[in-house]
Amino acid sequence: MRTALRIIGLSCLLALGATCTSALAAAPLSFSLTDQNGATVTEKAFSGRYALVFFGYTHCPDICPTTLQELSVLADTLPDAMRRRLSMVFVTGDPQRDTPDVLKAYMSPFGDKIIGLSGPVEAVDALAWSLKAVVIRHGDGTGDYPVDHSTNYTLLRDGEIVAQIPNTLTTDEMVKRLGELMTP
């Protein structure tokens, strides 16, 4: 039943297509996860800031490494004023395998521009649900298995959803779109 609901949710998100606005917001976020350096990170870490959030996992064969590379390039491309107000966040949808140490090794080629978050399955699932993201694990935390996940970015401001942005935009299109959404 839970998987069926997530698939329906994924279908709805995919049907939304382009960019969805703050009508998606439900309630301010509340979470406590662990970053790739072992530090506890809560929603308060992004207070007064924007956060661009992406769900994925380290065993992902294609979308996740490509997206992290694109985020790294985006971070280098953003104007300084935007970069200072934006955190880029990769949340694992597979926290049973993606411990902070695994995240740290996986994310090291992308520099220190992106925060990687992991934590208890329940906490990751609650955050995904709050952000209207879909995460479906096809395994029990052992062995090799895929994890279906949303591919959109979620832009937050002070813990509230500003927009869902498709990850199909070019770097220049992302800079433009973020500039439109990140009002002073």
The pLDDT profile of the chain, 184 residues, written as one tens digit per residue, is 444 444 444 444 444 433 333 344 445 688 999 999 999 999 999 999 999 999 999 999 889 999 999 999 999 999 999 999 999 999 999 999 999 999 999 999 988 899 999 999 999 999 999 999 999 999 887 888 999 999 999 999 988 999 999 999 999 999 999 999 998 7
pLDDT 10s digits, 88-121: 999 999 999 999 999 999 999 988 899 999 999 9
Burial class, 138, CB count within 10 angstroms (exposed 0-12 / middle 13-18 / buried 19+): exposed
Q: How far apart are CA 170 and CA 153, in angstroms?
A: 13
Reduce the DSSP state of residue 64 to 3 states and report it: helix
User: Among 179, 178, 180, which residue's Cα sits nearest to residue 52?
Assistant: 178
Q: What is the pTM of this model?
A: 0.84
* Ranges assigned E (strand) in 113-177: 114-118, 135-137, 147-149, 153-157, 160-165
pLDDT 10s digits, 29-44: 889 999 999 999 999 9
> What is residue 15's predicted lDDT score, i.e. its pLDDT?
40
Q: Which residues are CB-contacts of 111 (< 8 A; sequence separation ≥ 6)?
A: 72, 75
Q: Which residues are CB-contacts of 4 (< 8 A; sequence separation ≥ 6)?
A: none
